[in-house]
Amino acid sequence: MFLILLGIMQIAFGWYAFRNPDSDWMRMLARIPEDVEQDDSDLFKSQIYSVITAFIGVIFILIGLSYYFDEFPIQTFITSLLLGGAGIAIGVVALLRPESRWFKRRGEDGEDIEPRIWLMKLAGITMIGISILTMLLSAQHLFS
């Protein structure tokens, strides 16, 4: 249960850091003074780190669920189908609409920069791949 809660907290922190890479809280954690101006490459790096943090949170949730459903293989498979389906849906949205407001920095109204669109498409492809892999690998619990 602890791993599931830790994963949820990491996903929430990763989402906040992705949407607000220049917030005071992020500056405090990175020890960047308030008077220093960050350019787009620094903000892009912090967004990449936040995506990695959210990915680790998803891994923690899956590990926690595997411990929780260790005795019941059909529940593990059904849960992985639900999580995998949600992951595929999020990945498809990220692929088809990388300029969506859900994937932008808070307060950003300007043109989309190419590295951010590339990052969102890469994150969408990765999310679809990991979701399919999760669904396929959980089928082994049905036969054990």
Summarised one tens digit per residue, pLDDT across range 115-124 is: 777 878 888 8
Summarised one tens digit per residue, pLDDT across range 3-35 is: 999 999 998 998 888 888 877 777 777 777 777
Query: Domain map of the chain by residue range?
Result: 1-68, 72-144
**CB within 8 Å of 61: residues ≥ 6 apart:** 3, 4, 7, 8, 11, 83
Global pTM? Answer: 0.66
Question: What is the DSSP code string of 47-83?
Answer: HHHHHHHHHHHHHHHHHHHHHHTTT-HHHHHHHHHHH
For residue 51 the two structure tokens come to: 């995506």
